[in-house]
Every structure is written in structure tokens, then in C-alpha cells.
A and B are shown apart, each in its own frame.
Chain A
Amino acid sequence: MMRHNDNPPVYTGQIPPLPLVLVIDDLFGRTLPDGENPERRDLCGQFLLEEVAGDGQGQTGTQRIKRPEAQAVFCRGQTPAMAAIGDRVDNDLAGTLAVVRQHWHPVGDAAPVSMVLLDLCFYTGVVTAASEAKRGKGMPEGREGDDQTKNYFGLRVLEALHNHFPDLPVVILSSMPRAGVSQQFSRLGALGFLPRGDANSPALLRDYLGRHGLIPDASGTVIGNSKALLLALRAARRAAASRKNVLIRGETGTGKELLAQYLHDQTPDAESKPLIAVDSGALSPSLYASELFGHRRGAFTGATDDRTGRIVQANGGDLFLDEIGNMPEDVQVGLLRAIEQKEVTPVGATNSQKSDVRFITATNQDIEEKASTGRGFREDLYYRLREGGVIYLPTLKERKEDIPLLVAKFVRDAETLTPGAMHRTIDPQARDVLLGHDWPGNVRELRNCIFKAVNDHPDVEYLSRVHLYLPTRDHSPSEARDNLAVRPQVGATSPVNQIEELARVLDGFDVELLEPAGLSGKFPAIQAAYARLVARLVLAAVNVTRRPTLEHPEGDILIHPAMKLLSGDKDMTASKAADMIKRLLKLYPDAMQSILLDKTLAEIHRIAVRLRPVGRGASSRDRRKAR
């Protein structure tokens, strides 16, 4: 096996400043006894690569790249990595794969290698004075066939990489002619070809990294180094290159709006183009068309002025529409026209306005199902919205390795926003608890959990497990390390256990994280009391957010700000508020009837059901009724 550095770069808790490339090449990857490889130094100088590791001995000496395109680690792909005259050099597929594995599956929260740059022709055989004079120090004379296309060791490595690490981005870096191998390397999954002698190499490398590399978001908009997230970021960068519409799919709380922001930022000349975001969930059906298309004065009651719609505001740029699955069908017709004909007609207007917009839409619903069955979403619109691709955002459970990075970020944010909060370190036990949780509410739930922990405990230097309010039992460190996301067992056997369970559920009470399963069927009277307590909280929140009007001096019921207040969720929308109310008032169905005897609570519930007849918290009867 080849010699290789046992300590790859680890970026604990940090977003790596640059993408990391692994260069597999006999000439540039070899180690020389005097500690410097001049060809590697030249390659780094040409491609503006900053060597960070590789064979354990930096081979680029005092070279300093002022504005590096990437960091680089090097691997010879042969054994021995350091050869002298008389040594025999052989290709080492197993050793090469081991090096790749080390960088593709790094320990801890380090980012995986962004891209592999792979040479094609590897010379083998004995190192002689003549071979050194011809090819460089430590280079062998070459065996018959080494430089024949069909024998290229690089293609064997490529095939093995394709089989073992199918998601790993590989680009060929060779001085051999592209034409002779283009079919082979394409078939084996290489994403492109970087010719060595090209003067535009840094620009080419930047271009390849942008299109094919797995690169964390250095701007910090989207936090994480996991492969699942990096694949989504790459899909966003690829989509950003065209002006075609993009659909983002992902569960609630996965960060769809942040990904839309990232996609917009990656667009050429993004700074000169607008990004307009519309939270479709916060719009009533009647306001939807006006919001998107604008309206003319007098178009409807309350339309006292002309208003420019969001689509026209986003002209030349991007319009982000969240919760697209809830769009009223009549608005869908107008949106389809806006996409196909690039024009919109404001409500109440007779003339249309031109507007060239890329639509970035998002949903957590099974919109394909809705479109294919024709229930609630137009199929032709669906295909128009996904012309530039569909990007799937992973759940937090699918990217648990990002939790430490996210926690570090949220803790810092929360400390900044909490007056007087001390700067704290994250206790390893707390980290294990956070890693062991399932996070059904995804990143938003994690953020809320951390913010609550900091807000409630501003005067401590450690974020400890006792500060974390999680609705499920904690996991042992070993479970957390194994990433076992085991849900708690609810069937506690002894009364003592049951009371402990009850205490834990009550202690971890959080309206947004509420999981009544912990009480289910054990203490009917307490469960009913619990449900009434929650209902009173809903009522209190609604009462303090009421806005008096002339017609209603006691104030209109505004569920959106009320639920925002109650949950602390800055991203609260009207539809989410409606879902939340339905869920909270239905915590214990047996108590619901008595709760709704209260006139105001009954009205709150009625508003929520009217706004969201179908959705989270709706019963199957509700859904049938809605159809």
C-alpha cells in the first residue's frame, strides 16, 4: 500500500474556506526525498491550488498562492510514493481507493473532497538515471503499454471509483489527447477533461468545480458539509446557470427558502437581478392573484390604488413561491400564462404587462401526485415549473453530520440575539443528545431548540443536555454515535415510570414541538387538562394580538401573528398557523368539544378550518369534505 498522510485536513465546526480537490497523478503526486516536488509546485502555481496535505510532507515549499481556486491534496496512485534509482514502481489500485475513501468519508464534520482530478497515464517500472532525466526525479522508465489508451491506469482507477463511490465527482486531468479517451471516460462517469497545457486552467478549474464539485456554501447562507446537502447545492448551482424554472422539494423546515436564495446568488450577475419571495401560505385565496399579478385601482373593494404584482417586480430576476401546492386553481392559470407568454394581466386591467422571470418554487407536498391526478394542481403548470430541474433537500435526519455545524451557528446567533447571553461551549453530552434526536421538524426545529436553550439559560458557559427541551427521551452517547434515531418507547410499565414520562413530556412542552404521544392513553384526566391548558395558551395569544377596528372594537382575530407569538417561529405563515391551531385544539379529541364551548376558541377553530380545510392536522373526514 502506498504511503499516505494519516491526518487529513479536518475543519471541525468550520465551513471550509475553499473547495478541496484530490489530485491522483504519478508525476505531481510523487514524494521526493529532498521534500519538494517542483512539478507539483508548478501545477499548484498554474491552477492556483493551495497544497494542504497529501503525502504528509508539503511538497510545494514556500510557495504561496494569493487567491487560490481550491485546496489540494495529492496522491501518486502508485507504490512506493517516494522512489529512488533502482526502485520498482507499480500501480496501486487498492491503496488509491483507500486514499479516496479517507477523503470522501472524512472523520467528523469535515467536508468531503469536492472533486478528484485524475491523471490517465501512469508510468511504471524501474527508476533509472535515464528515466529521471527524461521524466523527472523518482519517475520510472515506463513499461510497454503504459502509454497506450487501452492500458491507462487512470481508466482502471476511474472504473473503480465509479463502482465504489458513484457520487464522487471525477474530472480527468491529463496531458494526453482528449479525443482518444473521451468515450471511455464518459462511459465510466468522469464529468469532464482538464487539459494540462491550457493557459486558462484556473478558470477552467473554477468552472468545473462550480458545475461538478461538491462545495459547501462559503457565504454561510446554507450551512452544512454533508454529501446529501452538497449534492443539493450542486444541483442548485447547475440550475442557476440557466433561466429555466426550478422546483425545490423538501419537508417543512429543511430550508427551502435559503436554498432558493443560494440558487439566486449563484446566478450570473445575481447582484443586479431581483429576488422576490412570496410566502404563498400566508395569502388568502382572494389576495393571491392580486399579490402575484398586481391590480388596478377599483378592481375590488379595498383596491384604492394601482399595485404592481410580484411577478412584474421580479422582472429580469427570480420569484420565489413557497408552498406552491396551495395555489388556487384560478391563479395557476395566470401563472401558466406568465410563464408561457412572459406577460401578466393585473386584476381589473385589460392590458397585460411583460415580465421575464425565473420561478423558483417550493413545496413539501406530493405535488407530482396532485398534478398527475389533476387534483388541486395543473399538470401543465407542474411541468413548466420543473423545466430547470427538481432539487430535493434532505431532511435533517438524512444529514445528521451537519448537526454540530448547525448547532454552532445557531448557538452563536442565539447568543447575539439574547441580551446578556454568555458565550458558551457545547457540552459533548448535549451534542450526543442532539445527534440522537430524529428532528421531525428538521433544521427549524433544531434552531428553535437551540434558541430556547440559550434564551432560557443565558448565564452559562456550557450548553448542556439539561438545557435542551426535546419531546422524546434522550439517547445514550453510544446510540448517538451510531446515529441511531430511535423513537422513545411509550409503554412505560411501572407507575413511577409513567409519572416520569409525564413529567418529561410536560417539562419538554413546546407548542411547535408538541408530541402528545407521550401521554397517549395513560392519564385521561391529565391529558384533558393538558389540552385545555394548551387551548388557553392559544386563546391568550390570540387575545394579545387582536387588532381593534371600527367594526370590531374588541379586535379582529389574527391567527397568523398569534401563532407566531406562541411558537416563536419567525417563518410562521397563515396556513402553518391554521394547521397549528387545528393540531393544538385537537390534542385530546375527547376534550375538544368542551374546549370549543368557548365562543372565541370556536371562532378561532372555524377560521383555521376555513383557511386550511385540508392539511396538517386535518382529519380524513375534513379531507373527504374538501374534495
Chain B
Amino acid sequence: MLPDWQHRRNGFNHDWLKNRFLTAMSSFVNILDDLVEDPETELRFVRDLLPQWPGRAAEAAGLIAAFKTEMSPTILFRQPPLYRCGPATMEWLPGLVHLLWCQRLSVNRMCTDACRAIAVANDSYEHIAKALVECASPVSVETLRPYRDLFSEFRAACEEVSLSISSFPNRIEVV
């Protein structure tokens, strides 16, 4: 059975970020590059998906914050057979296991890298949000075309977020 954290990661990284958000953004960048014409729904990404980023970025940050507690092998001490360990052992062993796990998997570095990736993506998003405010009204592919590189940078930043979140282990690693 997959830990709940894994389900949540799949929901964010697989179902939303890669399958929907990045796919739609890549398609939109191709529209800006004039490789694709899509007169009916060309702004769907900007109107429907792009505004979801702040909420989803917070979800991603929450995932990273929860990783240490939800995916640490210390939770095995709450399940059989380790839950049978005596109180004296419980006082020191889970903490040691957690420490070893953090060191061996470089958990702090993984979390820091992922948080940094999210921060970079957030900055990139802010640039786009600002550009959208400054953009001539009404918003159209033509008026957004000068900001093409901002979208491309945001896409690259989101890919980094996806990669960093993918790098977390997909099961509870025993040390």
C-alpha cells in the first residue's frame, strides 16, 4: 500500500503538474512561437490553469514540509512489529533511525533544493503576473507574444520543481 504522502505527491506532480499544467504551458509556448494555431482556446492556459499556480505551489511546499514526518522510517515504530519495542528503546531508537535516514538520503538537501526550486518558480510566476497586468488590454496571443521568454522561463522553473519532487524516494526507506 502506498503511503498517503505518495498519493498526494502523485496527485500534484503526476496528475496536475506534468499531465496538465506543464503540458498546457508547453502547448501555449508553442502557440506564442506560432507553431500552433488554436483560435478558440488559445488563452485557456492563461485564464484557467496559470492562476492555479500559487495554490499548487503552496501544496508542493506542504508536501516537502510533510516529507520528513510522513516518509521517515520512524513511522514504522508505530506499526507491528516495531511498535512492540520497549519504552526505553523507543526513547532513543526512533530518533537515531530518523537521524541516520536524514543523513543517508541527504533529506535536508533534497528538501532545501525542492524549496529553492519552488521559490524560483514563484519568482518566475510573479514576473508573468506583473506582465499580465502591464499587458495591453484585451489580453491576446499577440499582446502576450513579447512575454514569450517569461513563459519559457516559468516552464523551465516548473520542470525543476517537478524534477526535484520526483527525486524524493517513492517508499519508506529502511536504514
A residues 12-62 touching B (CB-CB < 8 Å): 27, 36, 38-39, 41-46, 48, 61-62
> Could you say which residues of chain A place their CB within 8 Å of the CB of B1?
144
Q: Is the CB of B23 within 8 A of A42?
A: yes
The segment from A194-202, A295-303, A549-557, A581-589 found at the interface with B is: A194-202
Q: Mark contacts of A149-180 with chain B using CB atoms, 8 A cut-off: 1 yes-contact digit, 0 otherwise.
A: 00000000000000000000000000111001
Provide the bound-state CA to CA distance between A176 and B6, in Å. 12
Known A42-B23, A144-B1; judge A48-B36 contact (CB<8 A).
Answer: yes
Q: Is the CB of B44 within 8 A of A38?
A: yes
> Could you say which residues of chain A place their CB within 8 Å of the CB of B155?
199
A residues 38-89 touching B (CB-CB < 8 Å): 38-39, 41-46, 48, 61-67
Q: Is the CB of A64 within 8 A of B38?
A: yes
CB-nearest residue of chain A to B163:
A197
How many residues on chain A are close to B (CB under 8 Å)?
35
> Could you say which residues of chain B place their CB within 8 Å of the CB of A65?
35-36
Q: Is the CB of A61 within 8 A of B27?
A: no
**Smallest CB-CB A-B distances: 7 pairs:** A45-B27, A175-B18, A46-B26, A197-B18, A197-B22, A64-B37, A42-B24
Provide the bound-state CA to CA distance between A48 and B156, in Å. 19
Q: Is the CB of B2 within 8 A of A196?
A: no
> Could you say which residues of chain A place their CB within 8 Å of the CB of B41?
36, 38, 41, 61, 63
18 example contacts (A-B, Cβ-Cβ < 8 A) are as follows: A38-B44, A39-B20, A41-B41, A42-B27, A46-B26, A48-B30, A61-B38, A62-B39, A64-B38, A134-B15, A147-B2, A147-B7, A147-B14, A175-B13, A175-B14, A175-B18, A175-B19, A197-B18
Q: Pick from A46, A61, A134, A176: contact of B23, CB below 8 A.
A: A46
Provide the bound-state CA to CA distance between A61 and B36, in Å. 13
Q: Pick from B10, B26, B37, B152: contact of A201, CB below 8 A.
A: B26
Tell me if A375 counts as interface (CB < 8 A to partner B). Answer: no
Provide the bound-state CA to CA distance between A39 and B155, in Å. 17
> Could you say which residues of chain B place their CB within 8 Å of the CB of A48?
30, 35-36
Tell me if B140 counts as interface (CB < 8 A to partner A). Answer: no
Q: Is the CB of A39 within 8 A of B19?
A: yes
CB-nearest residue of chain A to B48:
A38
Tell me if A593 counts as interface (CB < 8 A to partner B). Answer: no
Q: Is the CB of B18 within 8 A of A45?
A: no
Tell me if B126 counts as interface (CB < 8 A to partner A). Answer: no
Tell me if A8 counts as interface (CB < 8 A to partner B). Answer: no
Tell me if B166 counts as interface (CB < 8 A to partner A). Answer: yes
| Shortest beta-carbon distance from A352 to chain B in Å | 51
Q: Is the CB of A121 within 8 A of B14?
A: yes
Provide the bound-state CA to CA distance between A62 and B170, in Å. 40
Provide the bound-state CA to CA distance between A352 and B62, in Å. 71
Provide the bound-state CA to CA distance between A46 and B24, in Å. 7
> Could you say which residues of chain A place their CB within 8 Å of the CB of B71?
none
Q: Mark contacts of A176-195 with chain B using CB atoms, 8 A cut-off: 1 yes-contact digit, 0 otherwise.
A: 11001000000000000001
Q: Number of A-B pairs whose CB atoms are under 8 Å?
A: 95
> Could you say which residues of chain B place their CB within 8 Å of the CB of A274?
none
Q: Is the CB of A136 within 8 A of B31?
A: no
18 other A-B residue contacts (CB within 8 Å) besides A43-B27, A64-B37, A197-B23: A38-B41, A38-B44, A41-B41, A42-B26, A42-B27, A45-B27, A45-B28, A66-B36, A121-B14, A175-B13, A175-B14, A176-B14, A196-B23, A197-B22, A199-B29, A199-B156, A199-B159, A201-B26
Q: Is the CB of B10 within 8 A of A147?
A: yes
Chain B residues within CB distance 8 Å of chain A: 1-2, 6-7, 10-11, 13-15, 17-20, 22-24, 26-31, 34-41, 44-45, 152, 155-156, 158-159, 162, 166, 170
> Could you say which residues of chain B place their CB within 8 Å of the CB of A196?
18-19, 22-23
| Shortest beta-carbon distance from B41 to chain A in Å | 7
| Shortest beta-carbon distance from B57 to chain A in Å | 16
> Could you say which residues of chain B place their CB within 8 Å of the CB of A63?
36-38, 41
> Could you say which residues of chain A place their CB within 8 Å of the CB of B7?
147
Provide the bound-state CA to CA distance between A62 and B37, in Å. 8
CB-nearest residue of chain A to B14:
A175
Tell me if A135 counts as interface (CB < 8 A to partner B). Answer: yes
> Could you say which residues of chain B place their CB within 8 Å of the CB of A45?
26-28, 30-31, 36, 38
> Could you say which residues of chain B place their CB within 8 Å of the CB of A416?
none
CB-nearest residue of chain A to B7:
A147
Chain A residues within CB distance 8 Å of chain B: 27, 36, 38-39, 41-46, 48, 61-67, 121, 134-136, 144, 147-148, 175-177, 180, 195-199, 201
| Shortest beta-carbon distance from A219 to chain B in Å | 23
> Could you say which residues of chain B place their CB within 8 Å of the CB of A134?
11, 15
Provide the bound-state CA to CA distance between A134 and B6, in Å. 15
Q: Is the CB of B39 within 8 A of A46?
A: no
| Shortest beta-carbon distance from A181 to chain B in Å | 11
> Could you say which residues of chain A place their CB within 8 Å of the CB of B36?
45, 48, 63-66
> Could you say which residues of chain B place their CB within 8 Å of the CB of A38?
24, 41, 44
> Could you say which residues of chain A place their CB within 8 Å of the CB of B35?
48, 65-67
| Shortest beta-carbon distance from A197 to chain B in Å | 4
> Could you say which residues of chain A place their CB within 8 Å of the CB of B27?
41-46
Provide the bound-state CA to CA distance between A15 and B170, in Å. 46
Provide the bound-state CA to CA distance between A48 and B14, in Å. 21
Q: Pick from B15, B17, B39: contact of A197, CB below 8 A.
A: B17
CB-nearest residue of chain B to A121:
B14
> Could you say which residues of chain A place their CB within 8 Å of the CB of B17?
197
> Could you say which residues of chain B place their CB within 8 Å of the CB of A44?
27
Q: Is the CB of A180 within 8 A of B170?
A: yes
CB-nearest residue of chain A to B18:
A175
> Could you say which residues of chain A place their CB within 8 Å of the CB of B166?
177
Provide the bound-state CA to CA distance between A136 and B1, in Å. 24
Known A48-B30, A63-B36, A198-B159; judge A136-B20 contact (CB<8 A).
Answer: yes
CB-nearest residue of chain A to B156:
A199
> Could you say which residues of chain B place their CB within 8 Å of the CB of A62?
38-40
| Shortest beta-carbon distance from A313 to chain B in Å | 41
Provide the bound-state CA to CA distance between A176 and B19, in Å. 10
Provide the bound-state CA to CA distance between A294 and B6, in Å. 70
CB-nearest residue of chain A to B30:
A45
Provide the bound-state CA to CA distance between A507 and B38, in Å. 61
CB-nearest residue of chain B to A148:
B2
Most B CB within 10 A of own CB, among A41, A44, A45, A195:
A45
Q: Is the CB of A197 within 8 A of B38?
A: no
> Could you say which residues of chain A place their CB within 8 Å of the CB of B30?
45-46, 48
Q: Is the CB of A43 within 8 A of B23?
A: yes
CB-nearest residue of chain A to B11:
A134
Provide the bound-state CA to CA distance between A195 and B162, in Å. 11
Provide the bound-state CA to CA distance between A68 and B15, in Å. 26
> Could you say which residues of chain A place their CB within 8 Å of the CB of B162?
197
> Could you say which residues of chain A place their CB within 8 Å of the CB of B11?
134
Q: Is the CB of B18 within 8 A of A66?
A: no
Provide the bound-state CA to CA distance between A219 and B25, in Å. 34
> Could you say which residues of chain B place their CB within 8 Å of the CB of A197?
17-18, 22-23, 158-159, 162
Provide the bound-state CA to CA distance between A180 and B6, in Å. 14
| Shortest beta-carbon distance from A41 to chain B in Å | 7
Most A CB within 10 A of own CB, among B31, B34, B38, B158:
B38
CB-nearest residue of chain B to A64:
B37
